[in-house]
């Protein structure tokens, strides 16, 4: 089976100042999303895994490496997302992105070892989806916990799914929290 893609969305955001202060390093976030026809048939489907396995690598290749390329430098944080349109089921989007055939393509392109954090839901066209990002090799790196909002104004239409990969070149622009666990280390 080959995926039917209506459109690709590429977005690059650069933050230069935060709270009136210049950030020490230009903060970049890249998003690459595919708006695709829901590959699952209408109605309840018992086996979601077989199809997800079949299209996982193709879907991962469509959005993963291009996201790293759009970022234009080594990613430090990453995440993934699925937004399922009406006449679809949240579990269908989850099956597509929580599949190692999909995730490994992006993880390898980003040089990551951690599991990809995910945002997923069902929604109407233009629905915002908040996507968590975490450090690609150590999910406990507190400075890299950040959330990015993904919006595709005309998607997902009924019987569509938006699947996206997101990458950041750094942690939050002015991250200054103590290391994970330090608040209880002296207790």
Chain-wide mean pLDDT for the chain? 95
Which residue has better confidence, 186 or 140?
Answer: 140
How many distinct helices (H) and strands (E) make up the chain? 4, 7
Where in the chain are the domains?
A: 5-185
Q: How far is residue 104's CA from residue 163's CA, in Å, rounded to a whole number?
A: 15
Q: How far is residue 71's CA from residue 16's CA, in Å, rounded to a whole number?
A: 15
Look at residue 176 in the predicted model and tell me its pLDDT.
84
Q: What is the pLDDT of residues 48-71, one digit of tens each?
A: 999 999 999 999 999 999 999 999
Look at residue 179 in the predicted model and tell me its pLDDT.
73
pLDDT mean over 149-156: 98
Let me know: does 151 contact 126? Beta carbons within 8 Å. yes
CATH superfamily membership of 5-185: BB2672 (3.30.1330.110)
pLDDT at 185 over 80: no
pLDDT at 9 over 70: yes
Look at residue 187 in the predicted model and tell me its pLDDT.
58
């Amino acid at each position: 089976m080959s995926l039917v893609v209506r459109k690709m969305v590429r977005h690059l955001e650069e933050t230069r100042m935060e709270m009136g202060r210049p950030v020490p390093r230009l903060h970049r976030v890249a998003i690459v999303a595919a708006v695709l026809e829901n590959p699952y048939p209408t109605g309840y489907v018992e086996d979601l895994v077989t199809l997800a396995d079949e299209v996982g690598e193709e879907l991962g290749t469509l959005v993963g490496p291009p996201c790293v390329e759009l970022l234009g430098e080594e990613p430090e944080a990453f995440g993934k997302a699925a937004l399922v349109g009406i006449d679809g089921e949240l579990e269908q989007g989850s099956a597509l992105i929580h599949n190692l055939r999909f995730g490994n393509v992006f993880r390898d392109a980003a040089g990551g070892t951690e599991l990809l954090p995910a945002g997923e839901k069902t929604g109407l066209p233009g629905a915002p989806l908040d996507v968590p990002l975490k450090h690609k090799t150590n999910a406990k790196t507190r400075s890299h916990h950040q959330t990015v909002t993904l919006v595709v104004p005309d998607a997902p239409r009924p019987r569509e799914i938006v699947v996206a990969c997101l990458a950041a070149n750094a942690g939050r622009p002015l991250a200054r929290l103590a290391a994970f666990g330090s608040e209880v280390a002296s207790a």
